[in-house]
Structures are given as C-alpha cells and as structure tokens.
Structure 1
Amino acid sequence: MLLAAVTAVVVAAITFVLVAAWTTSVPTGALLALLLLAGSCYALTWLLGRKLSRRSRRLLAGGTTVAVVATVTLLAAATVFRPAAHPYVAASPTAATRYWDLPNGTRIAYTRTAAAATAPAGRSPVVFLHGGPGVPGEPGGAVLSGPDGLPQAGFDVYVYDQAGSGLSTRRDDARDYTVQRHVDDLEAIRRQIGADKMILIGHSWGSTLAAAYVATHPDRVEKVVYEAPGGLTGEIAPLAPGADERRTPRQRQIEPALISPRVITAFLLGGRNPEAARQLMPDREADGLNSALFPASPSPVCDPAAEVPTPPGTGFWTNVATNNSLRSWDPRPALRTNRTPALVIRPECDYISWETTRSYREAMPQATLVYLRDAGHVVQLDKPAELLDIVRAFLLDRPLPLPAYTGQEPPR
C-alpha cells in the first residue's frame, strides 16, 4: 500500500506544478492534484489488493485514499501553502526621489543630479542601470552622481529603480518582466527626459540591459559603459574559477537553511510560469526571500570575509522572469555593426567569468576593455575613485588612466 500512496503523491505533485504553470491558477492546480491523488491512490490500492474480496478491496482502497489525501492536504498546508516571514530590506524614498509615470503604465522611481552650473552645458545625460535584475540601491549611482562625480563635468545623472524593484512598479503579471519590456521602459525614460541621446552606464545585469537597448535603439546612445558586466546573451553567465570557493562557511549555511518545499515549488513554477509562482509566493514574501538569499552570493568585493550590506528594495520575480526571457535574447548580431563607443571594465575579483566580460569587447567594434586590479564585482565598493576617474576620462574623450587590455586570457 505504501507503493500506491507514494506513486499517487508523486503523480499529484507533478500534476499540480503542470496545471498551475499552464493555467496560472494555484487553486485550480491544487484541486486537480487532490482529485488525481484520490483517484490514482484508490485505483492503485484496488489493483494491489486483487487477492482480497471485493468488499475488503473497497474498504482498503477507500480507507487508504482518505488517509493519504488527508495526510497530503495537511502536509501541503503546513509546508507548500504556508507563507514564510522573511525579513525584507525595504527601500525608502528620500527628499530627492521623483517618479515617472510612463505611457506603458509603469511607474518608475528615480533621482536626478543636475549638472553643475559652472560646468560646460549641452552634454548628453547619463543614465545608470543597476544590476540584478531587481537589485537597486547599488552604490554605483551614488558614486557617479556624488559631489566629485559626473555632474561636476557637466552631466545630468539619472539613477532609477527598474520595474519590479525598489520604489518602482511591481507588475500585475510577473510574465511581463521581460528584457524587451525593460528596454521599452528605458526608451520611455529617454522620452521623459527629452534627450536625443543618452549615455548608459550599466553594472552587472545593467550591462545586459544596456547592450539590449543599444542593439534595439542604436541611434539613441552616445556612449555606453559596461561595468563588471553580466551575461550578454541568453545563457546564464558562468562564475569565474574559484568564485564559489571564496564563499565563507557562514555564506554556505544560508541557502540550505532557507530551502523548503514552498521555495522549491515556487522555483519549479517560476521556471515555467512566473505569474503562477507569484500567485503561490506573493511579492512581499518573495522579495524578503531575495533579501535573505543575497548574503549567500559570492562576495562582491575582493575581501571574501568583508560584510556587505544587503541592498534595499530587491525584487525577486523581476529577477526570475527577466532571466527566463533572456533565454531567447541575443543582441550580438545587431551590435557587430554598431559604432557606439563602449568601455568595458573588468574588475580583478569579479565572480563572473572572464569570458563573459570579453564577449562585450568582442561584440562591439568600438569597445575598449580595461582591467582594474584589487576590485570586486561591485567596483565602487573597492575602488570608487578609480572607477569615477576611468568613466569620466572615457566620457570626456581624455586618455584613460588604465591601458586598454587586448589579450584573450585574463592578466596574470
């Protein structure tokens, strides 16, 4: 009878995931799974009890089915369908926070640091694209727009929270978090700013978004900076050799402590239908899980033991769904003939593979790659002044403070 019960539970679980993913209805999936569980458990028990009398087989099959369905229902209610309380590091507006209401329905939170009055006028605005997807609040925007930053050189600097993170819109349907929708948001932002062209500075996934925008709107970008870039194409960017080994014992304990039947189910659903997964695990809970998982990532600085605060306002479902949409995205054919000047910054301690960084240099004919030693994936945490010097020189057409690196293998 145990074999019948286990088989029925497995079939029901698979049914729940498939139905919920297909219909975007968790209740429908749960109901059909229970019905299938009851039917398959009864049928299997009936077959296995064929040596018994007809009355005994009915009693055995009925009793086993009731027991299995009741047990599974209680276990599912206590695990898969029981919300978890993950502490969420929320984003808070400041006096400088403003909002764009885009024509496509997206509400975007942003800050603008105006060019200094004493600086040359008429430069294209700088737009900083944070990583993730769904990790706003990175220090890069603050470094670039700070007292000694790009506004002093005559650049307006815009830093915004991409949809699904920070203070910006959480979309009604998680399936609407796509690369194309992020590109559309950025184009709508350009129109809101009223700029003919923008200068894009992308960090990590922000570089992926910048490349996608350059490929889609090649005439709207004056220059582009790829800082510690994430994957250029639909393939997940592999880790650099040794990156996982640099995680501390404390970091390695975080993920196993957070894994549960509910989290596993949400991940399984998220890979097929992010909206069905969001119905199971709503934004607030999922974003809290994202905050809790962040410290388990490889260190974003060169010192793996350094404590790095969790960025506020991270968005879980924009990360999952946007990465899903990346599977069919490849901007390289459009970038091969694009003459936009591009700067690729490779930090020495980046946990993303060297081949990923090099692919940006190889994708654009006007790309220059520089190698910054003693800096991690979030360059501005280790080398804020050096990052600013490199970017400022590039934007002002001055000699770069670091030589261009043209090798196929990373420097030794």
Structure 2
Amino acid sequence: LFGHSWGSMLATYYLSKYPKQIKSLILSGPGPILPIRSALARQPAPDSLALRNPKFSNREGNAATQNLRSEAMHYIAHTFGKKLASDNEADAFFTHLNEALQRSTTCNGEGLDPYPPGGGYYAHVRTIQSFQVPDRRAQLQPLQTPVLLLKGQCDNQPWGYTQEYLDLFEQARLVVIPDGGHGIREQDQERYLKAISGSVNQNLTH
C-alpha cells in the first residue's frame, strides 16, 4: 500500500485496522501517525542524515495569504460546520493558499508549475477534523510489516514524525533523497521510482 504525505497517514491507519490485507507499506514524505503527537515536531534529526529546512516554510505561506475574512471563514467552518463564503470563493482562496504553500515542497521554492484549481476548501477543513481518531499505535507496534520511508533531504515535514515510524515499526527502512523536498516524485523521479520498485521487488520475493 502506497501513500504520500496525508496519504501516508491514511495508509498507516488502514494498516492498524486491516493488517492482514497489507503485505508492505511505502510511505513518501510521510505525515504524522494519527492521532498527531504535536510534540514530535520539535524533535531534531540526527546530524548524520544532513537534513535541512526548505527555503520557504508552510508558516510563511500561511502568513502571506491569510486575512481576517479567511480566518473567520475557517473558524466558522471548523467550529460550527457552516459556510461564511460560497464554495467558489472558498475554493479560489484554497488555490491561492496552496500556491503559496507549495513553495515549501522544494528545497529552494523554485521550478514549480502554477497550482491547479479545483480543490475543495470545506472538504479540506473536514479532512483535518477527521484526524481526531482513536489511537491505534498499540495495534501497529507488534506488526512485522515492511515499511519503506522515502523522505526528501529538505522535506517540509518535521523529522520527529518520521522518527516515530522508525521507532514503531521493526521492519521500517528510511531512504533519504538528496536535494529532494516534500514533492520528491517530481524532483528526482528516477531515484524515487528506483527505491519504490526495489522495495516492491524485494517484498514480492519473500
């Protein structure tokens, strides 16, 4: 089962509930295990990995795009499940926000195509709310499922979230893609696909 970013969070939670259906996991730019342990975001990476922060952060992207209306729009949707703005307005803002946030998905914030429209802002708010799930780490810990973790050298996801996978899964293995960001597939497709195919082939022979 493959998951990138938020997809890795979903894939890992699926594994916790249906372990017999999963032969192996491949997690790319992995987000945190659910429910999120925010304190892990402050955990430093080992110096030996030579990880570095991207030039632009998600915090900067949010600061550049948020205003009083967008903050009110989010608060009302999150707290009351109501829409302050129309879907068209909210979705247009979401595209604008993602355009700024995607600069953190490469090491230097360059070489990016315009962010495609069509994302649903209110669906995004609901997705974040869905992260509040029962903690199933106890169900994951004894599993012997092979887990491949692919992380760009300047991934925007905090190291502590990746470290938790390594601590939790006995059969976890980390591959760091040099000069890769969170969007490592687009930035070093050859090395990315080579790591994935190698993991798949290895698991098929066992």
Q: TM-score by structure 1 length?
A: 0.42
| 1:390 Cα deviation from its structure 2 partner | 0.4
Residues in 2 aligned to 1:353 and 1:285: alpha-carbon distance in whole angstroms: 31
What corresponds to 2:90 in structure 1? 286
| 1:220 Cα deviation from its structure 2 partner | 1.1
| 1:364 Cα deviation from its structure 2 partner | 1.8
The answer to whether 1:204 aligns with 2:5 is: yes
Residues in 1 aligned to 2:13 and 2:126: alpha-carbon distance in whole angstroms: 16
The answer to whether 1:270 aligns with 2:77 is: yes
Deviations 1:316-359 (A, max 9, x none): 22222221231344332111022222111121010111111111
Shift of the 336–389 alpha-carbon distance from structure 1 to 2, 3 Å rule, reads same
What corresponds to 1:221 in structure 2? 22
What corresponds to 2:138 in structure 1? 333
What corresponds to 1:346 in structure 2? 151
Alignment check: 8 A CA contact 2:65 2:97 kept: no
What corresponds to 1:315 in structure 2? 120
Aligned length: 192
Alignment check: 8 A CA contact 1:222 1:340 kept: yes
What corresponds to 1:295 in structure 2? 99
Q: How does 1:135-150 map to 2 (within 5 A)?
A: none
Partner of 1:375: helix, strand, or coil?
Answer: coil
Runs of 4+ residues deviating >6 angstroms: 239-242
| 1:216 Cα deviation from its structure 2 partner | 1.2
The residue type paired with residue 184 of structure 2 is V
Deviations 1:66-113 (A, max 9, x none): xxxxxxxxxxxxxxxxxxxxxxxxxxxxxxxxxxxxxxxxxxxxxxxx
Percent identical among aligned pairs is 27
Structure 1 runs not aligned, ≥5 long: 1-199, 399-412
Alignment check: 8 A CA contact 1:239 1:351 kept: no
The residue type paired with residue 12 of structure 2 is A
Residues in 2 aligned to 1:316 and 1:231: alpha-carbon distance in whole angstroms: 21
Shift of the 349–329 alpha-carbon distance from structure 1 to 2, 3 Å rule, reads farther
Alignment check: 8 A CA contact 1:202 1:227 kept: yes
Deviations 1:221-259 (A, max 9, x none): 122101010111233584898747x229xx958844551
Q: How does 1:6-405 map to 2 (within 5 A)?
A: 200-235=1-36, 238=41, 243=53, 246-247=55-56, 252=60, 255-256=63-64, 258-260=66-68, 262-273=69-80, 275-276=81-82, 279-297=83-101, 298-397=103-202
Structure 2 runs not aligned, ≥5 long: 45-51
| 1:303 Cα deviation from its structure 2 partner | 2.4
| 1:312 Cα deviation from its structure 2 partner | 4.3
Deviations 1:179-201 (A, max 9, x none): xxxxxxxxxxxxxxxxxxxxx11
